[in-house]
Amino acid sequence: MFKKLDKYIIKTFFGPFIFIFSVLFFIFIVNIIWIQLGQFLGKGLSYWEILKLLFYMGVSVVTLVLPLTILLSSIMTFGEFGERYELAAMKAAGISLTRIMMPLFFTVSFLAVLLFFFSNNIIPDFQRKAKNMFYNIATTKPALNFTPGQFIDQIPGYQVKFDKILGKNGENIEGVFVHKKANSYENQQSIVAKRGKFSPTKDGYFLKLTLYDGYIFEDDIANKDYRDRQKQPDQSIKFDTLVSHFDISDLIAQAIEDQKISDDYRFQNYTELNKSIADNRKDNKISFKNISDEFISQTNNYINYVDITKPRQAVAPQIKLDTVNEKKKLEMLYSAYNKIKNLNNANTAKQEQILTSVKYYSKIVMYQQRIFAYSVTCIIFFLIGSSLGSIIRKGGMGLPVVIAIVIFIIFYVLNLTMENLSWAGKMNPYVAAWLPNILLFPFGIWLTYKALTDSQVFDVEKYKTFFKPITTLFTKSKEHKRYQ
């Protein structure tokens, strides 16, 4: 039967849980906004579209926000129980700490299972929507996506660069450079102007660029041979005002939420990722075998020759270097040196190819394993948080928050370290995905044992007494002790 005490414990837990989850989710979203906001502001999007994009992007942070929320809420809940002597009253009534932790353990287990289904079924769909929306935004209304000082080629057929972008809507520009894309057999054209102004046409399918005080540089070389091109004079036309229209109908026709990208592993659930991992492993095996065969054929042509000859056929003896004259010897050594140098360069290039394949494979594996690993992290963080809260017996936003943040930073650093080692091919990605949990789980069990046995883990006086024989060796006696 669900007792009133269990209801009270769960109610006390969900109070800080909802507040902390909201605060952390907002902090993580702000971090995303800080990094990504510049990529879609000024694109003519409505507030609803911006909020929708932020929501699509923010859903994925739940995988980190929920474990940290459980850690903080557990410490604060049991810390408040200890600070208000409610924990002592429960124990005095014959209720063990295990029984007190049990309702929250089942609650956190339910949240962990919920996180797994959320990460497995909902996050991939939102990742797909976010990435497609970003792609469509990047290719829609390109006139409002210019970055000062950088070449951009979103206008079909042209590359443009501006030194400054001014005006309320970024319509005024200074230091304009426009280059028409053309191959070496077409007319070349570049435009330079001191200032200009962007304005869309009424139908919205053309972009109007008005330039002031500039030059047009054009080379008329189409359908002419090399000698005729050399005879062409350098042409430059000065203008006061130049109006150009760029056709952007294909870009405008793209809907913001069209699903054009579908081949990303982050769009797949746990089961679908198994097939992706198997296919990637198969492709890597074929690729690595081809690389191996290529190096063997380049470094050991003699063995390949022996393999294709008949067993009884005599093989010409190898030439001894000492019997060759000096000039021929130098030629042979130089040829061998060049061959080794070329093989070394090829080996360096192949290493980059191998590392790229290994990194992509590790990314898929770690993404799949973390779908389940972060759910287990929730339970481990509950064991750590509830045990720490019952030991330190401090509630509120002071010491519990500091301890929880330190533990989470350790977990986060371990995650990043294992991730980098796995991407570099120095650690198995399956081990890398689970190692932070494997390292923290014994710590959680140890803290739970200490909490169940009422151990004073954070008793400073206890540690002073333990280290007193050592500290006395490095401290001087005070003057007044001579006269005692």
Reported as a pLDDT band with limits 50, 70 and 90, residue 228 is: low
Same domain, residue pair 99 and 204 = no
- Please name the helix (run of DSSP H) or strand (run of DSSP E) that holds residue 173, with its range, or none: strand 172-180
Q: Residue 300 carries which side chain, given as an amino acid letter?
A: N
Query: By the 8 A CB rule, do 146 and 160 touch?
Result: yes
d(CA 156, CA 142): 10
Same domain, residue pair 200 and 128 = no
d(CA 457, CA 390): 11
pLDDT of residue 306: 47
* Distances 228 to 96, 186, 225 between C-alpha atoms, Å: 97, 14, 6
Same domain, residue pair 245 and 310 = no
pLDDT at 112 over 90: yes
Mean pLDDT of 25-39: 73
- Please name the helix (run of DSSP H) or strand (run of DSSP E) that holds residue 213, with its range, or none: strand 206-219
Domain with 321 in it: 268-366
Same domain, residue pair 333 and 285 = yes
Q: Residue 18 carries which side chain, given as an amino acid letter?
A: I
pLDDT of residue 110: 94
Query: Within a domain: residue 24?
Result: yes
d(CA 195, CA 474): 74
Q: What is the mean pLDDT of the chain?
A: 76
pLDDT of residue 109: 93
Query: Within a domain: residue 258?
Result: no
pLDDT exceeding 90 applies to what percent of the chain?
9
d(CA 214, CA 236): 10
Considering 212-226, 251-265, 455-469, the range whose residues carry the highest mean pLDDT is 212-226
Q: Domain count of the chain? A: 3
Lowest mean pLDDT among 97-101, 287-291, 319-323, 433-437: 319-323
- Please name the helix (run of DSSP H) or strand (run of DSSP E) that holds residue 375, with its range, or none: helix 326-392
Same domain, residue pair 153 and 222 = yes
> Mind listing the pLDDT tens digit for each residue in 141-154?
444 456 677 777 66
3-class secondary structure per residue, 51-111 = HHHHHHHHHHHHHHHHHHHHHHHHHHHHHHHHHCCHHHHHHHCCCCHHHHHHHHHHHHHHH
pLDDT of residue 278: 87
Mean pLDDT of 39-49: 63
pLDDT exceeding 70 applies to what percent of the chain?
70
d(CA 433, CA 431): 5
Residue at which a domain ends, from 332, 366, 400: 366
pLDDT at 32 over 60: yes
Same domain, residue pair 237 and 165 = yes
Query: Within a domain: residue 473?
Result: no
Lowest mean pLDDT among 115-119, 340-344, 414-418: 340-344
Query: Within a domain: residue 476?
Result: no
Same domain, residue pair 178 and 132 = no
Same domain, residue pair 244 and 192 = yes
Same domain, residue pair 86 and 123 = yes
Query: By the 8 A CB rule, do 442 and 381 touch?
Result: no
Query: Within a domain: residue 378?
Result: yes
Query: Within a domain: residue 94?
Result: yes
pLDDT at 229 over 80: no
Query: Within a domain: residue 481?
Result: no
* Distances 43 to 36, 107, 137, 161, 206 between C-alpha atoms, Å: 13, 44, 7, 18, 16
What are the b/e assignments for 87-118, b being 16+ CB within 10 Å?
beebeeeeeebeebbebbeebbeebbeebbeb
Mean pLDDT of 50-73: 84
pLDDT at 302 over 50: no
Length of the chain: 484
Query: Within a domain: residue 480?
Result: no
Closest CA to 443 of 416, 403, 395: 403
pLDDT of residue 131: 76
Same domain, residue pair 134 and 183 = no
pLDDT of residue 305: 47
- Higher-confidence residue of 421 and 351: namely 421
> Mind listing the pLDDT tens digit for each residue in 393-402?
776 566 667 8
Residue at which a domain ends, from 218, 252, 286: 252
Closest CA to 207 of 241, 152, 244, 253: 244
pLDDT at 41 over 60: no
pLDDT of residue 92: 82
Within 260-325, where are the H helices? 270-299, 301-308
d(CA 292, CA 350): 10
> Mind listing the pLDDT tens digit for each residue in 195-207?
888 776 665 567 7
Same domain, residue pair 306 and 385 = no
Burial class (CB in 10 A: 0-12, 13-18, 19+), 78: buried
Treating both helix axes as pointing N-terminal to C-terminal, what angle do 270-299 and 301-308 enclose, rounded to 10 degrees?
90
Mean pLDDT of 228-243: 76
Q: What is the DSSP letter of 465?
A: H
Terminal C-alpha separation, the chain: 66
Mean pLDDT of 275-302: 77
Residue at which a domain ends, from 319, 337, 366: 366
480: tokens are 């007044």
pTM for this entry: 0.65
Same domain, residue pair 221 and 179 = yes
Q: What is the DSSP letter of 152?
A: B
Partners of 189 in the β-ladder: 218
- Higher-confidence residue of 296 and 356: namely 356
Query: By the 8 A CB rule, do 160 and 178 touch?
Result: yes
Considering 44-48, 128-132, 271-275, the range whose residues carry the highest mean pLDDT is 271-275
Mean pLDDT of 425-431: 88
Mean pLDDT of 105-131: 88
pLDDT at 183 over 90: no
Task: Tell me how many degrees the CA angle 304-295-338 measures, rounded to the nearest 5.
Answer: 100
Query: By the 8 A CB rule, do 43 and 169 touch?
Result: no
pLDDT of residue 143: 42
